Amino acid sequence: MPHLRRALIVGIAGQDGSYLAEFLLRRGYEVFGLVRRSSGDFPDRLTHISEQITLIRGDLLDQLSLNSAIAQTKPHEVYNFGGTSFIPESWQQPALTSEYTAMGVVRLLEAIRQISPETRFYQASSSEIFGRPVEAPQDEDTPFNPRNPYGVAKLFGHLMAERYREGYGLFAVSGLLYNHESPRRGPEFVTRKITHAAAAIALGRASGLSLGNLEAKRDWGFAGDYVHAMWLMLQQHEPAQSYVIATGELHSVRDVLDVAFDHLGLDWERHVTVDSVLMRPLDNGPELVGRADRAREHLGWSPTLSFDGLIRLMVDADLARLDPAVRYTAALDWPAGSPLLVSSREAD
């Protein structure tokens, strides 16, 4: 069966890139992924689909490599997840964060403009561009107020996508994504830190976990749901300025602990200690929580996995990774019976 469309995913080795690659393959796409020239072995998150995708070497710092990637793949769609995704790291490397996360967007847009202006472009923006928001919940009209180098760089990329759409007529859309988690989330993020620790404690591999502020709250959704929204943005007749993608629900770190440990029949208060070194001050203003009305109305999108279901999914996957009696497979990264796991024939 011939491929229906071609997609180039920049940052394919990350959480979102790997989920999107699977999602597109099931819809009959030919999938290419841009990885840095310095990358070594096949990325872990992609090993189960390694024979179905093609990796292209390139770097967001190198304009010529991006031009070559666009010319070589001739993509119908480009999805950009490239750049720093861990906020503390952006404080340690603000200049590099700006080069990859901000200027990398411009280089990609230039490659598309010069070589394949009909290509549709998705820019992964972030709720961090709202920073300390002036209102809650936030939507596409909420004023931007980034508070860290990552948020500032993301805002630059967000605005440049707008300028290229308005100035050059490119089909360029940004998704203002709130926190989205999965079993593929990096271990440095608090949700995965908790689910991994809970699984390790249940198996007798660990005895405790140190955390910072348990009252910190976020709008947490499932990454698999969010890549569906990204794809829908590029299937519209005309590009919208941007879409907020969020659950509209706030949950605390304490809530994550409650669900994760209860799923394993454990009392987290017996295992978790609060470390003042890890504490971050809580903002007194409105919380970061999104209102995804535009996505619901224009795209027909809504989350399919609840907060509790997401945390339990992550715990189960971490248990399987740690327990040699359980064979870990990528299928554990998706909820059983997910409506997103459809074939290209079902999607038509």
Copy the structure tokens of residue 154: 């993301």
Say whether 162 is catalytic: no
Who's near 272: CB < 8 A, 6+ residues apart?
208, 209, 210, 211, 257
Cα(179)–Cα(60) distance, rounded to whole angstroms? 24
Distance CA 163, CA 23 (A): 29
Concerning whether 150 is annotated as a catalytic residue, the answer is yes
Instruction: Please tell me which residue in 22, 30, 77, 128 is annotated as part of the active site.
Output: 128
Which of 79, 150, 164, 243 is flagged as catalytic?
150
- Please identify which of the residues 18, 65, 125, 126 carries the catalytic annotation: 126
- State both tokens at 52: 């179905």
Residues 24, 347, 169, 112, Cα dihedral to 10°: 20
Q: Is 38 known to be catalytic? A: no
Angle (CA) 211 181 69, round 5°: 125
- Residues annotated as catalytic (active site), given as ranges: 126, 128, 150
